[in-house]
Structure 1
Amino acid sequence: MAVTGNEKKSIIPWLWFSMACVLLFLILVIAIRQPAVQALDRELIQGLNPIRISALILFFSNFTDFASSRLLLLIIALFMIYLFFRKRIFSLILLPLVFLIEREVNGVLKNWVMRDRPPFHHLVHETGYSFPSGHAMNASTVYGLLILLILPLIKSKWIRIAWVTLGLAMILLIGFSRPFLRVHYFTDIFAGYCAGGFFVGISAIVLIFVYNRKR
């Protein structure tokens, strides 16, 4: 089927967004090989030392789990039930499908870049490569998708604002938790956001096609 004018207007911003995410990710892949960027990454982690107090370490050690695969699968399952009752069957399928694809892509990207984790004492146990951050990629993909999928179902303006704010706060705080806990560099987080943003952008384009065709 031909793409309508309204669809083009809706798709183009998401297409540019997705392309920008890919471009920024590739720039970061090159940048992290540069000694100056590596030094800055280490300095930024060390710069958080003054605020690494026991209470915050405990908070972020637990909060970071909101982007763990185990907890996200539970969150996804709960929202799949909600989407089922709201008769958003395609959204119900898209949410877990994109998450599972994103998990596989994260492993591929980590094995491609092969960046070691920060050479500092880790405050939570982590293994494997560092770039891009799996937690940042998980958070931006899942919570970004939840903003995208649930927002059209909310009628109240203030609840819509609260929902977007909550989703963005989850993404940003989970991202910050990783270098705070010394298990990732900040560039790992930005790369995770770029990769997750790409999945959200492509999902938005697919949703525009699917739901516009049903009207």
Structure 2
Amino acid sequence: MSLLPDSASFHERVQDCFVTYRGHGVSFSAVDLDLVDRWADLQIPFEVVARGIRKAAEAALWDAPDEEGVGLRSLRSAKRHVDAEISKFQRTTAGRTAPDVAPEEPFHVQRHKKLVAAIKKVTRPNTPAWLSRMPQPHDFEGADRQESLALLLLLRELPFQRRRQLLREARALVENAPSFSAATRRASLQFHRAAVARQAWNLPGLW
């Protein structure tokens, strides 16, 4: 979902991700920057941090908004979710390089299988035909794109009136901020559409 070039720094990618998921422009405070520094020092893949931010943003959508109507006000608000994702990643990768440990499937492959299983469960007995055609992703980023696409396709599976209601809700969640570029606004709208689809289908966040 990132609109940044491949050469973008870890800090730039985190801020871009946060703004996109939040739906509002924001400047990082010194405390927020210190938090990004700590995550960068851990040498955790950016996608792990992004997943925590996304989960925090989704959770904030359904919590009571603050006085400004914004659930996720700062990067610190996402710290608990990001730290939880980092802990999962570290627990899963611990000891994986030992010679006597059998190789496991990569995270993105495990996520793909969990995604397919979860969609089959929530759509049973009318499992959509497109699910069997979803290719296995090649990396973290591909798994994220695939999950977002699947959620948008699930949105289309809903009755017309329900789908229209959710699309309006998603658009209302994205602030009409003049500082947003058209591309950033599209990316933010895509996230919010996926978020309302996840809630409508009661689909869990996958790892």
TM-score, normalization: structure 1?
0.29
- Pick 1 or 2: higher relative contact order, CA cutoff 8 A, min separation 6: 1
More helix by percentage: 1
TM-score, normalization: structure 2?
0.30
